[in-house]
Amino acid sequence: MERPWTSFYGPSVRAQIDELPFRNLGDLVSHTASVYGDAPAFTVCLPNGMNGTLSFRQVDEMSSALAAYLREVAGLEAGDRVALQAPNGLPFPVIAFGVFKAGCVLVNVNPLYTAEEMARQFADSKPAALVIVDMFADKLPEALKGHHIPTVIVTRVAEFMPMLPRMIVGAVQKYWDKTIHPVDVAHIRLPDAIAAGAARRDEGKIGAGSYTASVDPDDIACLQYTGGTTGVSKGAMLSHRNIIMNMAQTMEMISGVKKGEEVALTALPMYHIFAFTVNLVGFYWLGARNILIPNPRPLSNLKRAFENYKITWMSGVNTLFNGLSNEIWFLDTPPKHLKFASAGGMALQKAVAERWEEITGKPVLEGYGLTESSPVITFNPLGRTRSNSIGVPVPSTDVACLDGDGQPVAPGEVGELAARGPQIMLGYWKRPEETEKTIKDGWLLTGDIATMDADGYFRIVDRKKDMVLVSGFNVYPNEIEDCLAAHPGIVESAVIGVPDGAAGEAVKAFVVSRDPALTVEDIRAHCKAHLTGYKVPKLVEFRDELPKSNVGKILRKDLRVEHPVETSQVANA
């Protein structure tokens, strides 16, 4: 297949990456620690500025000890699943890397899940061990009914921080916030598990690579569950090859990054695939100092991180960049050392990208990917960015827009985005039928509608399932939301289709306004000036806030299940 987009690669970017940099993720961790040693690898920064840091050597040593605990003390075997349910913090890399070193499979679990959601994921993945942060452990008795997990390890938000801040955070959580409750299931604390593993390792003289020696590149490294936006959440089987190659593909595209010198801000949760591969694995490999934010909400939680550290790179979603661009403290003192930011997870609106660059002087580079692709498929090359574009495919990747018969459409025509490359998942865990629907002849069918320029840049039109059909015309919410984002009185918006008699569907916009005087008529007039008639929202509803996922992505699906608005909210056409 021809790859016209390679002409936009930088002079040092390889069009094809054939050699796997590391055999497995455990080897990656140990090798990187041998290079960067005592340099700071991860720093957790709390909203009040309290912090703690682990060096590359410390992360390597503790993760090796945890691996020994899992295999020698807890009795896990290669390929057993280990669930990890924790926010961003110093325990996260130690646990994740320890699981890889043990030759086990990591199962990332959203710490905000309800007991019912936890139970469903446990029932599907059947983990042999669970590591959970204490502030969510009160859900365990209900979540574990009928889903026994032999080994439960409990950690804390302030784990591995210096003693004083650790004690302060613990006291505040227990006595002030009252977010810490007794753990009513048999468990061991993470530091005790690491100590027990280190003792057993020393007794048995277990080498650091003893478990990973038999881990092949195509063995499963993670079960990464999809958000479930199109039905029941499914576990994407991501191999060591998938994640390592996608890390290499992405880093190949990011020019100007210097090994051992970068300071990355990780506000997106690392249990989400984008931050997991790019922030956790990718920037660890580059020897970057990773500034971890346990909770980016409210956005003032990021203030001390920007003040105290020379952030050179950050990742986020459209809502994060939009929100920061409206924070007074961020406007007063934008980051001085930032080289660029990268966006994914949802469409980056043109007005948001322009506003960000106006404030910081640096661009937001939009990329595209899915859980099923580890996740990055395309990325905007630095210095060659295009507005409203997801960029060009990363090395070793083929991308096409397909028609209903699975045939490529001509450049500029709309089709379903499909991709193939070394980052595409092995399939869905225990769901061969779903796998067959999603991967055909080696091509991952993304469910996104896109176009390709003649020279190889891609643009997402919208999600296939989000398209609105108005009197036979296809209407894509992204286009309308992008138009609404350009209105100075609108903070954010979401557009869906609602039933509308003979017309089939009507366009409805949910709007969060910064201007109390803004009216439905104002919004429709703005849209009429920029959009053809059938795309103009027929219904407009003002909201104080919009439903969002754990990474800040606006959830149209939650809005679609709501009842239609009152008749009085319908504007006259």
Flag whether pLDDT at 347 surpasses 80: no
pLDDT digits (tens, 9 = 90+) for 374-414: 999 999 988 888 888 999 999 999 999 999 899 999 999 99
Supply the pLDDT for residue 240: 98
The full set of domains in the chain, from first to last, is 51-215 (3.40.50.980), 467-569 (3.30.300.30)
DSSP states of 520-553 as a string?
HHHHHHHHHTTS-GGGS-SEEEE-S---B-TTS-
Q: How many CA atoms lie within 13 A of 35 on its CB side?
A: 14
Average pLDDT (519-524) is 95
Flag whether pLDDT at 572 surpasses 80: no
| Pick from 308-312, 343-347, 354-358: least confident | 343-347
For the chain, what is the mean pLDDT? Answer: 91
Number of Cβ atoms within 10 Å of the Cβ of 115? 16
| Token pair 């790019």: residue | 278
Structure tokens at 316: 């986020």
pLDDT digits (tens, 9 = 90+) for 414-471: 999 999 999 999 999 999 999 999 999 999 999 999 999 999 999 988 887 888 888 7
Distance CA 486, CA 248 (A): 36
DSSP run (H or E) holding 59: helix 56-68
Supply the pLDDT for residue 175: 78
Flag whether pLDDT at 97 surpasses 50: yes
pLDDT digits (tens, 9 = 90+) for 532-556: 888 999 999 999 999 998 788 899 9
Residues 123-159 as b or e (16 or more Cβ within 10 Å = b):
ebbebbbbbbbbbbbbbbeebbeebebebbbbbbbbb
Q: List all residues 6 or more positions away from 185 whose beta carbon is below 8 Å from its beta carbon.
A: 137, 140, 141, 144, 152
Flag whether pLDDT at 231 surpasses 70: no
Does residue 352 contact residue 485 with C-beta atoms inside 8 Å?
yes
How, if at all, do strands 398-402 and 188-189 pair? unpaired
Q: Give the single-character DSSP code of 145.
A: T
Give me the helix-helix angle, 56-68 and 190-204, nearest 10°. Answer: 80
| Token pair 């009185």: residue | 489
Structure tokens at 24: 């497995």
Flag whether pLDDT at 108 surpasses 70: yes
Supply the pLDDT for residue 13: 92
Q: List all residues 6 or more positions away from 158 whose beta carbon is below 8 Å from its beta carbon.
A: 44, 52, 89, 165, 166, 169, 170
| Pick from 179-188, 203-212, 353-362: least confident | 203-212
* Residue 474 pLDDT level (bands cut at 50, 70, 90): confident
Distance CA 449, CA 172 (A): 48
Does residue 116 contact residue 159 with C-beta atoms inside 8 Å?
no
Supply the pLDDT for residue 566: 40
Supply the pLDDT for residue 206: 73
pLDDT digits (tens, 9 = 90+) for 455-467: 999 998 888 788 8
Q: How many CA atoms lie within 13 A of 2 on its CB side?
A: 7
Q: Give the single-character DSSP code of 408.
A: B
> Whole-model pTM?
0.86
- Alpha helices by DSSP H, listed for 409-488, are 432-438, 477-485
